[in-house]
């Protein structure tokens, strides 16, 4: 019999809320890239393979609205902009680690490498 975890409607709603906030394939990889420390736009595009500038800029704005990313503009000439994850986003580390481990395990199961 499958090992059950307590499944109730508030649990289902919480998971749906989380998935809606983290929706799409890019938000968590961006946060994971920023979990290594503050980065500039170009550094993030280099680390998150395959993301377009347009998509990254859209997702960064969304992550800012959800209090997950902080944007800082430095008064250099020309001005430089850095992105870093907020303390609230750090609470996502458990989710990121669980997804990373599951993703590696799933890839081995499905395509055997």
For a second copy, give the closer residue by CB, 57 or 65. 65
DSSP string, 8-64: -HHHHHHHHHHHHHT-SSSHHHHHHHHTTS-B-HHHHHHHSTT--HHHHHHHHHHHH
For a second copy, give the closer residue by CB, 13 or 40. 13
Where does this chain bind a second copy (CB under 8 A)? 1-7, 9-26, 28-29, 32-37, 47-49, 66-67, 84-85, 87-88, 90-107, 109-110
We find the least distance from the C-beta atom of residue 13 to a second copy, in angstroms, to be 7
We find the least distance from the C-beta atom of residue 82 to a second copy, in angstroms, to be 12
Reduced to 3 states (helix: H, G, I; strand: E, B; else coil), residue 83 is: strand
21, two tokens: 């906030």
We find the least distance from the C-beta atom of residue 78 to a second copy, in angstroms, to be 26
For a second copy, give the closer residue by CB, 17 or 53. 17
Contacts of 47 (CB under 8 A, 6+ apart): 33, 39
């Amino acid at each position: 019999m499958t090992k059950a975890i307590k499944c109730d409607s508030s649990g289902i709603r919480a998971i749906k809320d989380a998935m809606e906030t983290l929706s799409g394939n890019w938000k968590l990889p961006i946060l994971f890239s920023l979990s290594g420390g503050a980065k500039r736009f170009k550094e993030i595009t280099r680390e998150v393979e395959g993301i377009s500038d347009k998509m990254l800029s859209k997702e960064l704005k969304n992550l800012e609205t959800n209090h997950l990313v902080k944007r800082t503009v430095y008064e250099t000439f020309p001005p430089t902009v850095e992105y870093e994850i907020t303390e609230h986003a750090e609470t996502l580390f458990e989710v990121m680690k669980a997804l990373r481990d599951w993703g590696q395990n799933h890839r081995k199961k499905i395509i055997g490498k």
